[in-house]
Amino acid sequence: MTTQPKTRWAWTLSTFFGAGYLKPGPGTYGSIFAVLLWYGAANLFTPSRTTLALATALAAILITLFGIPASTITARESSRKDPGFVVIDEVAGQLFALILATPDWHHAALDLFLFRLFDIWKPWPIRRLEALPTGTGIMLDDVAAGLLALLTGLLLSYLRHHLLHF
């Protein structure tokens, strides 16, 4: 019995350096690792809020652009439409959710919760993005979940500061 060789760079990136093999809930691990890396970098380098937002957006976009071909290759080589061990989509989506967050645990935890909620629930039109071909569908539904988490976080922050005064 012969097995198809794996494209090492694609499997390494798409599983986010093996995080996708952790059980249970590999997608949650991918999201947590993204938050930890973002939080660590933000607090190690202490950039301005604008620089942090731009760097987070750039990282999210680059991970998405590289994640599409990586997840396409991994899906094809594993003969699965959307393998559960592919978590680069959660990493990208989580970073989109964090674009405007302040580097504290309150915002990081809220954005993690919101992203995972929308990633699992997949409200319209997020679910429709899964139907896109291979890596594009794998990645873009999580990007949309991240953007919805970002907007929801902004709305909650506005309500908290302007209407609830706490």
Q: What is the pLDDT of residues 75-118, one digit of tens each?
A: 999 999 999 999 999 999 999 999 999 999 999 999 999 999 99
Asked if residue 69 is part of any domain, the answer here is yes
Q: Give the residue numbers spanning the domain of 22.
A: 8-163
| 2 has a pLDDT exceeding 80 | no
Mind listing the pLDDT tens digit for each residue in 43-65?
999 999 999 999 999 999 999 99
- Better-scored residue on pLDDT, 91 or 162: 91
Query: Model's pTM, two decimal places?
Result: 0.94
Note the pLDDT tens digit of each residue in 108-137.
999 999 999 999 999 988 999 999 999 999
Give domain status of residue 1, yes or no. no
Amino acid at residue number 65: L
Distances 84 to 13, 44, 50, 78, 115 between C-alpha atoms, Å: 14, 32, 34, 11, 17
Q: How many structural domains compose the chain?
A: 1
Is residue 21 situated within a structural domain?
yes
Question: Is 156 within the bounds of a domain?
Answer: yes
Sign of the CA dihedral with 52 first, then 126, 120, and 12 last: negative
Peptide bond into 123 cis (omega under 30): no
